[in-house]
Amino acid sequence: MKKNLFQNMKKTSRKNLVTYLICFSFFAAVRIMGATDNLTRHFSSLLVPICINVILAVSLNLVIGFLGELSLGHAGFMSVGAYAGCLFAIKFKEILPAAVRLPLAMLVGGMVAALFGLLVGIPVLRLKGDYLAIVTLAFGEILRSVIINLNFTGGASGLKGTPQDATFTAGFAAVILTLFVILNLADSKHGRAIMSLRENAIAASSVGINANGYKLMVFSLSAFFAGIAGVLYGSSVSILSASTFDYNKSIEILVMVVLGGMGSIRGSVIAAALITILPESMRALADYRMLIYALALIVMMILGTSEKFMLLRHALSPRRLLSKAVKHFRYKKEGQNNG
Would residue 310 count as lying in a domain? Answer: no
Of 46, 59, 60, give the one whose Cα is nearest residue 251: 60
- Answer whether residue 10 is part of any domain: no
Euclidean distance between CA atoms 212 and 153, whole angstroms: 33
The whole domain housing 159 covers 47-261+268-279
pLDDT at 205: 83
Q: How many domains does the chain have?
A: 1
Query: What confidence tens digit (pLDDT) does each residue in 51-81 have?
Result: 999 999 999 999 988 888 888 888 999 999 9
pLDDT tens digits for range 271-300: 888 888 877 766 666 666 667 666 766 666
The verdict on residue 317 lying in a domain is no
pLDDT, tens only, 145-197: 888 888 888 888 888 888 888 899 999 999 999 999 999 998 888 888 888 88
Do the domain assignments include residue 30?
no
Residue 93 belongs to a domain: yes
pLDDT at 336 over 70: no
Single pTM value for the model = 0.83
Indicate the pairing of strand 239-240 with strand 159-160. Answer: antiparallel
- Give the Cα separation of 117 and 139 in Å (integer): 11
Confidence of residue 12 (pLDDT cuts 50, 70, 90): low
Please indicate, yes or no, if residue 320 is contained in any of the structural domains: no
